[in-house]
Amino acid sequence: MALEPAPLTWLQSLAREAIHSWEDLKKAFIDNFQGSLQRVATRHALLMCKQEQGETIRSYVKHFFNTRATIPNVADNDVIDYIKSGITVQSLYYDFERNRPKTVVEL
């Protein structure tokens, strides 16, 4: 598992003996990032993620999954539908449909 820079920096800044259990870590994480969690995006934000003109598929997927990470409880089928709907390069869109993944892991 890899962390984005902000959570990784926070994790590395914890005092050496500050965490003794998974529950300690969970509580410290939530306490630190609670303001961010209150700005949780909605599923509509995923639907609005679109590949920009000239944007690579890699860049679009990264942006999409960064948004997805802020939204709790989105089913795999919905994630797959939303990411597909944001693909603007016609050949990629049709290729995606022909080889449609069944899970986010396959995606």
Amino acid of residue 28: A
CA atoms within 13 A on the CB side of 56: 3
* Contact criterion met (CB below 8 Å) for 61 and 23: no
- Give the Cα separation of 84 and 78 in Å (integer): 10
- What pLDDT is stored for residue 27 in this prediction? 83
Quick one: pLDDT at residue 3? Answer: 59
pLDDT of the residue at 67: 87
Measured in whole angstroms, how far is the alpha carbon of residue 49 from the centre of its chain?
12
Q: Is the pLDDT reported for residue 10 higher than 80?
A: no
Q: What is the pTM of this model?
A: 0.59
Query: Mean pLDDT in the chain?
Result: 82
The pLDDT value recorded for residue 55 is 92
Closest C-alpha among 46, 57, 59 to residue 91: 57
Separation in Å, CA 98 to CA 86, 91, 92, 102: 16, 11, 10, 12
Provide the pLDDT confidence category of residue 4 given band limits of 50, 70 and 90.
Answer: low
For 54-74, what is each residue's pLDDT tens digit? 999 999 999 999 888 888 778
pLDDT of 29 over the 90 cut: no
49 and 67 in contact (C-beta within 8 Å)?
Answer: yes
